[in-house]
Amino acid sequence: MTDLKGLKAVVTGGASGIGLATARLLAERGADAAVLDLRPEPLPEPLCGHRADVADDASVRAAVEAAAEDLGGIDVLINNAGIGAVGTVEDNDDDEWRRLWEVNVLGIVRVSRAALPHLRRAAAVHPGGAAIVNTCSIAATAGLPQRAAYSASKGAVLSLTLAMAADHVAEGIRVNCVTPGTVDTPWVGRLLDRAADPEAERAALNARQPTGRLVTAGEVAAAIAYLASPAAGAVTGTALAVDGGMHGL
């Protein structure tokens, strides 16, 4: 287990699911973690939270500055906040497509823009010690049915990760992403609750996984923590799949 003592980390969408598991794991390993979320309370100790809507630039700037002040800087940014949409290109109207772009893609752009001056200061002290990890999805490349807008937004997250890695490598800031498969979080719980028989639907979902079970939020958090850690000091511009073997199937 990597010691992250002294690392100052900001996690967007950190009040639930993958983001909460990541913030908790970083804190368990010694990091100081701040959560930015639409609904940041209640959070388990010792996490601190700031309200932010990643679709709103003013709210992002205020929350990033407040988190930097709380933590005494920012070494690591986890861009994890995201929303989904079910449907084909005929099912989702332009407003739904714009909403996914605003949150899933421009959300990363806004938070990164606000955090980069802090990451640059951190990198000046510890080159390669500053990092951004984006939560992408296998939807970026797997060609999933009924996920047109979501897949397109995550495809953009993958391209953005590679472009940002190239832009900031010389500054000592690493940029990577994780591509989770189907992860057992409240997000998936909400989708299952809409089914006529949620338990049967969960069993069917498990059966579709090569491992016979969903990925856990803790397993994705462990991959994010690795990419954020000094152990990944030579890793930038990569996508780490945490998908139980689902990728490309």
Residue 38 binds to ligand NAD (criterion: CB under 6 A): yes
Map 28-90 to HEC letters.
Answer: HCCCEEEEEECCCCCCCCCCEEEECCCCCHHHHHHHHHHHHHHHCCCCEEEECCCCCCCECCC
Residues in binding contact with ligand NAD, number by CB under 6 A: 28
Mask: binding to ligand NAD, 126-145, rule CB under 6 A, as x and -?
A: ---------x-x--------
CB of 220 to ligand NAD, least distance (A): 7
Which region, judged by CB under 6 A, interacts with ligand NAD, from 12-20, 41-49, 160-168, 227-235?
12-20
Q: Are 183 and 21 in contact (CB under 8 A)?
A: no
Residue 53 binds to ligand NAD (criterion: CB under 6 A): yes
Among 52, 64, 106, 164, which residue interacts with ligand NAD (rule: CB under 6 A)? 52
Residue 151 binds to ligand NAD (criterion: CB under 6 A): no
Rounded (to 5) percent helix, strand, coil in the chain: 50, 15, 35
Nearer residue to ligand NAD within complex by CB, 13 or 172 = 13
Nearer residue to ligand NAD within complex by CB, 19 or 129 = 19
Give the torsion through C-alpha atoms of 203, 205, 99, 50, to 10 deg. 60
Nearer residue to ligand NAD within complex by CB, 4 or 100 = 100
Tell me which of 15, 150, 228, 242 is the catalytic residue.
150
Residue 229 binds to ligand NAD (criterion: CB under 6 A): no
Residue 48 binds to ligand NAD (criterion: CB under 6 A): no
* Buried b / exposed e along 68-81 (16+ C-beta atoms within 10 A): beebebbbbbbbbb
Positions 161 through 190 that interact with ligand NAD (CB under 6 A): 180, 182-183, 185-188
Positions 62 through 101 that interact with ligand NAD (CB under 6 A): 80-83
How far apart CA 14 and CA 43 sit, in angstroms, is 9
Identify whether 226 is a catalytic site residue: no
Q: CB within 8 A of 114, min separation 6: which ones?
A: 60, 61, 64, 65
Which region, judged by CB under 6 A, interacts with ligand NAD, from 16-24, 41-49, 205-213, 226-234?
16-24
Specify the amino acid at residue 128.
Answer: G
Q: Are 102 and 52 in contact (CB under 8 A)?
A: no
Helical (H) or strand (E) element with 224: helix 217-228
Among 16, 112, 229, 236, which residue interacts with ligand NAD (rule: CB under 6 A)? 16
Give strand pairing partners of 10. 34, 77
What are the residues binding ligand NAD (CB under 6 A)?
A: 12-13, 15-19, 37-39, 52-55, 80-83, 103, 135, 137, 180, 182-183, 185-188
By annotation, the residues acting in catalysis are 150
